[in-house]
Structure 1
Amino acid sequence: MRGDTVRIDVLGVGFDNLTLAEAAERGMELLHTEGARYVVTPNPEIVEVCREDPAAREAVNGAALVLPDGIGVIKGAAMLGTPLKERVPGVEFAARLLERMAGEGKSLYLLGAKPGVAELAAERLKERYPGLRIAGTHDGYFQDDGPIVEDIRQSGADAVFVCLGAPKQELWMARNGPATGARLLCGLGGSLDVFAGTVKRAPKFWRDHGLEWFYRLCSDPRRLGRMIKLPMFLIHVKREGRKK
């Protein structure tokens, strides 16, 4: 279900051209639709992975919603002459969904992060969103999908936040979505750590000026290897732009 949204192609990944509010509205529509759908939130790093990995690209483009989480994607789309409305951070999209889900008494399963993080996130989310029901939790350290899928199915969760990192989470949702029995699955990277309070988001100033990536790098220099993909992404965008 893609609705009538025209997708904007950025290096082979098709992004839905929506504002945060529009994306949340579409997410709730999916939550009320029969069948399983999933949402992905690629940043430039993930786009670069998709350029090199056809399976990852297929999983990302197969999502019902592909949201631009990363100022680099916004800049890249503009450079290609096909601007996107705005950045839609996965954690903010999730927060909008949670507010709506809580109001309707919907249930959520949390999957991912280190042992104990999902449980802590669950407790904090229940406090922040009264009415939200936590159907279950599981950390991201598992080898066999089967027991996890069955646990989600047995829980009766309406939605699942899948936080396994990219492209593992995208491939997992594409492979297992229908079997979970949930209607909506959202690939949200490190969001469980944010919800649990074990990792803090960049201050508003940094986010408003498109510098959240730099704040995260300063907070965790180990991310440097991953951040190398950002300049490569911009180089590839410039090359693609010259072809037009």
Structure 2
Amino acid sequence: MRIDVLGVGFDNLTMDEAVAEGLRLTESQGTHYVVTPNPEIVELCRENLAAKIAVNEADLVLADGIGVVKGAAMLGTPLKDRVPGIEFAAGLMAGLAANRKTLYLLGAKPGVAQQAAQRLQATYPGLVIAGTHDGYFKDDAAVAEEIRKTGADVVFVCLGAPKQELWMKKFGPATGAHLLCGLGGSLDVFAGVVERAPKFWSDHGLEWFYRLCREPRRIGRMMKLPLFLVHVQQEKRKK
């Protein structure tokens, strides 16, 4: 059973459980995909039906963001834990390296995916990068075919929401990969282009505030968090 938070159903998993399920999906027949909604994406799903469908039809819906965890608790249906997409990806890559599975990196500005590939291969010895492609493309089918030709087992799709969720739903099967993961701006972090919040900030659910301090231009996006909590409170009153 998924935990419903404002119309988005979250899988109630710990980080270890999520990684184990992700690795299981890489061994399963067919194509599967993972989404990692934060409060901003939940708010987007309230306004965009296609995005909401794509998110809810994912094989794994992970709570990326302390706001989602707090929202679920406020609604009386607590989640076990926050499962940040970038940490889920790290656990997944460790498993892929151990099992010699191949990974394709899709997204970010030109050159970033290649830079991320070099750093990730150094971090996870044995990790095989099947290929990379930046996020600035117009021919979706051609990119999916390019991925298929590499034989990649897993694809990190870092195109931002809702583009990445819609892309995985529509073009995922054409890639031939067993698992696709929508991971927003993770490639920038993996490449060292963007610094992730120090452990203290992330451990205390303040990663969003750290990012805001570093990038004040994000204030418009960050305003979705209080709006999300307002909507959660309104939903709570209905119960």
TM-score by length of 1: 0.97
In the other structure, the counterpart of 1:13 is 8
Q: Output the CA distance in 2 between the equivalents of 1:219 and 1:139.
A: 24
Q: CA deviation at 1:144?
A: 1.4
In the other structure, the counterpart of 2:78 is 83
Q: Output the CA distance in 2 between the equivalents of 1:42 and 1:204.
A: 21
Q: Give RMSD over aligned pairs.
A: 0.5
Q: CA deviation at 1:140?
A: 0.4
1:172 aligns with 2:167: yes
In the other structure, the counterpart of 1:33 is 28
1:96 aligns with 2:115: no
Of 181, 187, 209, the match for 2:176: 181
In the other structure, the counterpart of 2:199 is 204
Q: Output the CA distance in 1 between the equivalents of 2:201 and 2:106.
A: 28
Of 133, 139, 143, the match for 1:144: 139
In the other structure, the counterpart of 1:241 is 236
Letter in 2 for 1:80: L
Q: CA deviation at 1:146?
A: 1.5
Extract structure 1 runs of 4+ deviating beyond 3 A.
none
Q: Output the CA distance in 2 between the equivalents of 1:71 and 1:129.
A: 27
In the other structure, the counterpart of 2:152 is 157
Q: CA deviation at 1:179?
A: 0.7
In the other structure, the counterpart of 2:122 is 127
Q: Output the CA distance in 1 between the equivalents of 2:195 and 2:223.
A: 22
Q: Output the CA distance in 2 between the equivalents of 1:210 and 1:107.
A: 32
In the other structure, the counterpart of 1:106 is 101
Q: CA deviation at 1:147?
A: 1.3
Letter in 2 for 1:93: F
What secondary structure is seen at the aligned counterpart in 2 of 1:110? Answer: strand
Q: CA deviation at 1:212?
A: 0.3
Identify unmatched segments of 5+ residues in structure 2: none
In the other structure, the counterpart of 2:51 is 56
Of 200, 210, 216, the match for 1:215: 210
TM-score by length of 2: 0.99
Q: CA deviation at 1:62?
A: 0.5
Q: Output the CA distance in 2 between the equivalents of 1:125 and 1:203.
A: 19
Q: Deviations over 1:58-117 (max 9, x none)?
A: 000000000000000000000000000010000000000000000111100000001000
Q: Output the CA distance in 1 between the equivalents of 2:117 and 2:90.
A: 13
Q: Output the CA distance in 2 between the equivalents of 1:219 and 1:35.
A: 41
Give % identity: 72
Letter in 2 for 1:181: G
Identify unmatched segments of 5+ residues in structure 1: 1-5
Q: Deviations over 1:23-57 (max 9, x none)?
A: 00000110000000000000000000000110000
Letter in 1 for 2:118: E
